[in-house]
Structure 1
Amino acid sequence: MENTDKSMAHGCGNCKSGILCTTAIPLFNALPGDVQKKLTEHSVQTTFERGSTLFRAGEEVDSVLIIRKGRIKLCKYDVDGNEYILDIINDGDAVWENLFLEEPVFPYDAICLSDVHLCEIKKTEFIQLLAYHPSIAMNLISLLSRRLQDSNEKALLLSIHDPKIRLAGFLLDRDIRCVGPEIKLKLEDIAASIGLRPETVSRNLSNFEKAHLIKRLGKGKIIVTDRSGLKKIYETK
């Protein structure tokens, strides 16, 4: 990761207070409490400012990165510098998928959309954990299956030609996955996520708001007020 963090410390401050961040991580929450505690005691806590780059495509993967708090976009760029957002992850998510490849590298860039608090668990300690707790392997398979399903759904979404239907599907997905009641994304980030022009997204958001399907609060905040209405639009695909 790039050296853009504001602070770094061994052990998670939350975990030292008795609140284990691993309990919110599907990869680790099935482990016994004492194992989770030991794992977090050996973690490294880092804090990154909004706009920081956590890592870039091609950099080596040597640890599991747990998002304790914050939002991160995973993105790629084409030869012309156009950004394509692959996913937006937040509290409780983890980055680890390429850890076990022969030459593990990140396939995308990771940019902080807010201040981000991470817990980092080194690859060597994670492998030791797998050796003593094979049940984690089942969690890995389950999570990878879910990621594959999400990727297939994203591919389906991007295959839809009607921008209104594509945007409706995206908002439905983000409404489920976001932390809290609000979808917090700039217009440009929504456009880059679903391959549309910002003005196209803006026009359709305005139409959705007029139809009382969503409410825009300003500063990139959107509340879905009528999920069934958006679902009806999406199901016309």
Structure 2
Amino acid sequence: MIDEELLIQFGAEIRKVKKNEIIFEIGHFPNFYYQIKEGNVKMNNFTEDGKEFIQNIFIKGQSFGEPPLFIDEPYPANAVAVTKGKVLQINKLAFYEMLQQHPEVSLALNKSLARRLYYKSIMAPELSSQSPEKRLLKLLNYLKKREKEKGIEFVVDLSRQQLADLTGLRVETVIRSIKKIEKKGELQIRNGKIVLLF
């Protein structure tokens, strides 16, 4: 999202992360702006009975964890590397200075945050829906739109467990629901991957 060279110009460092490495934890106060150079990162938290709930999964080029950075509040979720990868991180004060010197970057960041709020708004009613198929289709269509893949189909690069964690469903329910949606012709399963047609 933000040009990597600009971030580096203002002191950003490239941090290598391993799969399942915790980048920051719930309750900690933010010190950095983070942007993914390679790999995927999830924001998660856990219910009292230990069930993981994934807030979102971020991909190459996306930033994560910014809201607390702007309001000086602790993180409401953990950030964990889903895959090994690289993350650009820039100190909070240097990040603020960059935004002041480059207001166009600030505007682009606001747009990105607004898009995430919009996603939360459209997903909230679906998460309360009794229909697991509706929940899954809403999420899959959002992912397809977010990826903006060119071509005639979109391959979902998430496991059934990750889909369950993103929708608040049990993995068994996700598997059954995907089969039902496939029978309706709204998606296909190829080599174990979910494929949505454009």
Which TM-score bucket, shorter chain as reference?
0.7 to 0.9
Partner of 1:208: helix, strand, or coil? helix
Deviations 1:195-235 (A, max 9, x none): 2121111011112233443233446x32113x5xxxxxxxx
Structure 1 distance, partners of 2:148, 2:110, is 25
Q: Say whether 1:166 aligns with 2:139.
A: no
Equivalent of residue 97 in structure 2, options 107, 122, 128: 128
Q: Say whether 1:208 aligns with 2:181.
A: yes
Q: Say whether 1:75 aligns with 2:39.
A: no
Deviations 1:132-180 (A, max 9, x none): 2334333343333222211111212212221122211111112222486
Structure 2 distance, partners of 1:156, 1:148, is 13
Instruction: Name the amino acid aligned to 1:182.
Output: V
The structure number with the bigger radius of gyration is 1
Distance 1:179 1:47, change over 3 A: farther
Structure 2 distance, partners of 1:37, 1:112, is 23
Distance 1:192 1:39, change over 3 A: closer
**Between 124-133 and 36-45, the greater mean CA deviation after superposition:** 36-45
Q: Say whether 1:97 aligns with 2:97.
A: no
Structure 1: which 5+ runs fail to align?
1-24, 30-35, 228-237
Could you tell me which residue of structure 1 aligns to residue 162 of structure 2? 189
Partner of 2:175: helix, strand, or coil? helix
Structure 1 distance, partners of 2:129, 2:93, is 43
Q: Say whether 1:40 aligns with 2:12.
A: no
- How far apart are residue 64 of structure 1 and its match? 0.8
Partner of 1:37: helix, strand, or coil? helix
Percent of pairs identical after alignment? 25
Relative contact order higher in (CA < 8 Å, ≥ 6 apart): 2
Structure 1 distance, partners of 2:16, 2:36, is 10
Kept in 2, the 8 Å contact 1:91–1:179? The answer is no
Kept in 1, the 8 Å contact 2:123–2:138? The answer is no
Deviations 1:35-66 (A, max 9, x none): x6353242111111222222211122111111
TM-score, normalised with respect to structure 1: 0.73
Report how many aligned residue pairs link the two structures.
192
Structure 2: which 5+ runs fail to align?
none
Kept in 2, the 8 Å contact 1:68–1:117? The answer is yes
- How far apart are residue 105 of structure 1 and its match? 2.3
Kept in 1, the 8 Å contact 2:12–2:89? The answer is yes
Q: Say whether 1:223 aligns with 2:191.
A: no
Q: How does 1:52-63 map to 2 (within 5 A)?
A: 52-63=21-32
Instruction: Name the amino acid aligned to 1:119.
Output: L
Structure 1 distance, partners of 2:69, 2:75, is 9
CA RMSD of aligned residues (A): 2.1
